[in-house]
C-alpha cells in the first residue's frame, strides 16, 4: 500500500526554497495556510495535485509516495 510521503514533500519544498505561498498558488489555493493543511496531512492531496507537486519539487511522481508493508 502506498501513501503520499508528506515528510518528503515538506523537506523537498524547503530544500528547493519554495515558499508555502508559491506551492499554494501552483495548486490553485488562495493562501499558504490552505496548502500547509495539505502538507501537514489535515487534508488529503488529490490525484490532480500530484503531477503539479512533482513538477514544482523537481522530483519523480513516485518520489511523492512511501511504500507501507502490511504484515499479517
State pLDDT tens for residues 5-30. Answer: 999 999 999 999 999 999 999 999 99
| pLDDT beyond 80 at 36 | yes
Give residue 69's pLDDT band: very low, low, confident or very high (50, 70, 90): low
| pLDDT beyond 90 at 70 | no
Are the beta carbons of 61 and 20 closer than 8 angstroms? no
Higher pLDDT, residue 67 or 1: 67
What does the pLDDT read at residue 35? 98
**φ, ψ (nearest 5 deg) of residue 65:** -115, 150
Cα(36)–Cα(40) distance, integer angstroms: 6
What does the pLDDT read at residue 71? 60
Helices 32-39 and 6-16 pack at an angle, to 10 degrees, of 130
Amino acid at each position: 500500500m502506498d501513501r503520499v510521503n508528506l515528510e518528503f514533500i515538506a523537506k523537498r519544498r524547503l530544500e528547493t526554497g519554495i515558499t508555502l505561498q508559491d506551492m499554494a498558488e501552483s495548486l490553485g489555493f488562495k493562501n499558504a495556510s490552505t496548502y500547509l493543511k495539505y502538507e501537514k496531512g489535515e487534508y488529503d492531496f488529490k490525484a490532480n495535485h500530484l503531477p503539479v507537486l512533482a513538477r514544482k519539487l523537481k522530483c519523480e511522481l513516485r518520489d511523492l509516495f512511501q511504500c507501507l508493508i502490511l504484515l499479517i
